[in-house]
Amino acid sequence: MFAKEIIDLRSDTVTKPTEEMLEAIRHAELGDDVFEEDATVNKLERIAAETMGKEAALLVTSGTQANLISLMTNANRGDLIILESQSHIYWYEVGGISAIAGLLPWPLKSLTGSLDPEEVEAAIRPQNIHFPKPSLLCLENTHNRHGGTIITPNQIKAVSAVAHKNNLKVYLDGARIFNAAVALNVNLKEFTKHVDNLMFCLSKGLCCPVGSLLVGNQEFIRRARKLRKILGGGMRQAGIIAAPGIVALESMIERLKEDHLNARHLAEGISKIDGIRVNLSRVQTNMVYFSIEGLALTADQFISKLKENNILALALSENRIRMVTHKGIERKHVEKTITTIETISH
């Protein structure tokens, strides 16, 4: 008997390291990274900084840790932070922005994740004894809860100009910034040149087992390194984490295009099924969000029926489902998913 193949569309975080990554781990030159003596970590940080067009970078344990360190580095306790109301920092990071960083999140709504510069400007109130100090604007690209949507370099430029004019720093949660760059076929630096600092994840579509990178100027990274330590993120022979990261940055980026083609194929396929609604204009990278409002099933029932057919997806609300394509998802898996959804929808 063969084990049943599972089609796991819950997230691109389920990707496993490639053979080449495992080989790179086996041969990585290691040292104690708290002493900044791990040659493999140092090399990854150098490549990350160069790729993003910034001075320096820092390997951290997760995207959540990267965001928390960045909030604490860019702002002081009690400051006001402007972010998008559906952003990952606001929704999915256990409230660390308040619980640990002691900051006041100031969420602004948007249609697809891209903030309106005029609304940002209006949120930056003039100085007054009653008001907290606004110190940071956070952007997210691609935008997860809006469907993996892209914020274009021009949109980043416009909104950052407003922030900078008012002495706010700009931080980019670029967990999936490579997806945005590959989808628009533009250089990473087009997305990063208008922001002060950013993070990206190795552990999602790039297939690494662990890790994210914070990128910014020397002073930002020096302070971030200290905060990483206070948060328990100082690692020792972290080259075993950095080695697959180097492989990822050198060889796994262009591959993301396949994930985007598969997501598009999946979205178009299921959009033809009665009772399923997909906003195809939002399917810009490797995510497919859809509504099953027109079916006589709750999201939980829909997910269980998929699971009976060895397909995994996430329910985001009573009738909203998310599917994410990644290296483990090939065209045949997409086809099987479409036909399975057809069957369980009747």
Does position 38 interact with ligand PLP (CB under 6 A)? The reply is: no
Q: For residues 61 and 96, what is the distance between their CA atoms, to the nearest angstrom?
A: 15
Q: Which is nearer to ligand PLP, 96 or 275 (CB)?
A: 96
Binding-site string for ligand PLP from residue 107 to residue 146, where x marks contact by CB under 6 A and - marks none: ---------------------------------x---x--
Shortest CB 71 distance to ligand PLP, Å? 12
Taking CB under 6 A as the binding criterion, the range among 42-50, 61-69, 216-224, 313-321 that sits at the site for ligand PLP is: 61-69
Shortest CB 173 distance to ligand PLP, Å? 5
Among 18, 37, 50, 62, binds ligand PLP (CB under 6 A): 62
Does position 256 interact with ligand PLP (CB under 6 A)? The reply is: no
Taking CB under 6 A as the binding criterion, the range among 59-67, 77-85, 149-157, 268-276 that sits at the site for ligand PLP is: 59-67
Does position 160 interact with ligand PLP (CB under 6 A)? The reply is: no
Interface of this chain with ligand PLP, residues 73 to 92, rule: CB under 6 A: 88
Q: For residues 3 and 1, what is the distance between their CA atoms, to the nearest angstrom?
A: 7
Does position 322 interact with ligand PLP (CB under 6 A)? The reply is: no
Among 15, 42, 64, 325, binds ligand PLP (CB under 6 A): 64
Q: Which is nearer to ligand PLP, 182 or 201 (CB)?
A: 201
Does position 201 interact with ligand PLP (CB under 6 A)? The reply is: yes
Q: Are 19 and 323 in contact (CB under 8 A)?
A: no
Handedness of CA 72, 77, 82, 84 (dihedral sign): positive
Which structure tokens are listed for 204?
Answer: 């999602």
Give the interface with ligand PLP as residue ranges (CB under 6 A). Answer: 62-64, 67, 88, 140, 144, 173, 175, 201, 203, 212
